[in-house]
Structure 1
Amino acid sequence: MMRPPALAVVGWSGSGKTTLLSRLVPELRQRGLRVGVVKHSSDPHPLHSEGSDTARYAASGAAFVAFANPAGVQLSFPEPPEHVLSLLERFADTVDLVLVEGWKQGPLPKLEVWREGLGPLLATTRQDVLAVVGDEGAVPEGMKHFAPGDVQGIAAFLQQCLRDGVLR
């Protein structure tokens, strides 16, 4: 099964990943793209409130558990995080691009959000970082760089990456 093109937006905690994504999604939508977002975390946060009906269904071995109310639908699967790619396959026909916040170790191409003092720049040691968003100081020579507020420039770059087949 095919999966939609995807990009991991990575960076240290507090670097601005969520802020960037919350601004980037509407910009990409205005450009006609259907965008999905997956939040990846290495920390084991509970998906269901203790004792809730959905927690009981998950504990019973259900293949998936969904919680639907007027605010929307939350869907969870009992798969470990390394199966993010199989999750993306489920949305191949519904989105043009999936942005995955986090998942530094995943196999997707990456956009690094970096801020001085939070941790080392990943782009200096990794081949899978396409561009850096943030402080310019330590960005490697020749690496594509964007200011955090340049949402239009980042969106145009991602559209070009989609056209060039860099994001698959």
Structure 2
Amino acid sequence: MKGATDPPIVSVVGFSGAGKTTLLEKLIHELADRGYRVGSIKHDVHGFEMDKPGKDSWRHKHAGASTTVLSSPHQIGMVMDVDHDHDPDELKKFFRNVDIILTEGYKQGDKPKLEVFRHGVHEEPLCRNDDRLIALISDTHVELGVPHFLLNDIKGIADFLISNFNLVPGVGHRERGHAGVPLNFEPCQMTG
């Protein structure tokens, strides 16, 4: 069950080359400039290597550590072996100080979706028949029965999210007790 302080999770989806990463980068910047704390999840079905070969943390991981945490005074990073592909609801426990979580990917997921669509890249929108689509962001008008934004209307998209999810800047981190204090991680288990 969704808790009172759980941030909304919105997935930005679309075909490869549509501009999802660029849109997310601009949208995160716009929301952050307005005082919102934004979390992001990049879904990669192909796997990834976050660390650099030869670095100490890479060596720890490749020696057999199931979880490796990189820690500095300003950032924390973690690489953990998992037994399945985790959905945003399973990952939200890592976001205790945000007002909204934006994901890139999870096109098959059950979260509200913003689709980025470029007519020159693909003929039809990915989410034409998806009832979780809440807005289309594109370079051409396509009638799907949801609000439509041009690719460069970042302020309009931000306004839409703020209104649609009743966002208030900083509510997430104040309600969770993290207004500028270090984040305290609690042990968790990532199992299926």
Runs of 4+ in 1 over 4 A off after TM superposition: none
- The separation in 2 between residues aligned to 1:131 and 1:83, in whole angstroms, is 21
Shift of 1:74: 2.3
Please point out which of 145, 163, 166 is paired with 2:166.
Answer: 163
Question: Which residue does 1:99 correspond to in 2?
Answer: 102
Give per-residue Cα distances to partners, 1:13-32, cap 9 Å, x unaligned. 11111111111112112322
Match of 1:139 in 2: 143
- The structure richer in helix per residue is 1
- Which residue in the other structure is 1:22 paired with? 25
Residue in 1 that maps onto 2:37: 34
Q: CA RMSD in A?
A: 2.4
* CA distance in 1: counterparts of 2:117 and 2:28, whole angstroms: 19
SS across alignment from 1:19: helix
Question: Hey, what does 1:121 align to over in structure 2?
Answer: 125
Kindly tell me the number of residue pairs found equivalent between the two proteins.
161
Q: Do the aligned partners of residues 57 and 83 (structure 1) sit closer, same or farther apart at CA in structure 2, a change above 3 Å counting?
A: farther
Map 1:19-98; keep pairs closer than 5 Å. 19-50=22-53, 52-59=55-62, 60-62=64-66, 64-68=67-71, 72-79=75-82, 80-91=84-95, 93-98=96-101
Deviation at 1:106, TM superposition (A): 1.8
Q: Which moved more, 1:30-39 or 1:46-55?
A: 46-55
**Which segment drifts farther, 15-24 or 148-157?**
15-24
| 2-structure distance, mates of 1:77, 1:106 | 22
Structure number with larger C-alpha Rg: 2
Q: Does 1:7 align with 2:10?
A: yes
In the alignment, the residues of structure 2 paired with residue 108 and residue 115 of structure 1 have an alpha-carbon distance, to the nearest angstrom, of 22
Deviations 1:125-154 (A, max 9, x none): 2111100101334332x3210001111100
CA contact (8 A) 2:112 2:134 kept: yes
Change in 2 beyond 3 A, CA 1:4/1:78: farther
Structure 1: 5+ residue stretches without partners: none
Identity %: 35
User: Is the aligned partner of 1:130 residue 2:134?
Assistant: yes
Gaps of at least 5 residues in structure 2 are 168-192
TM-score by length of 2: 0.73
- Counterpart AA for 1:138: V
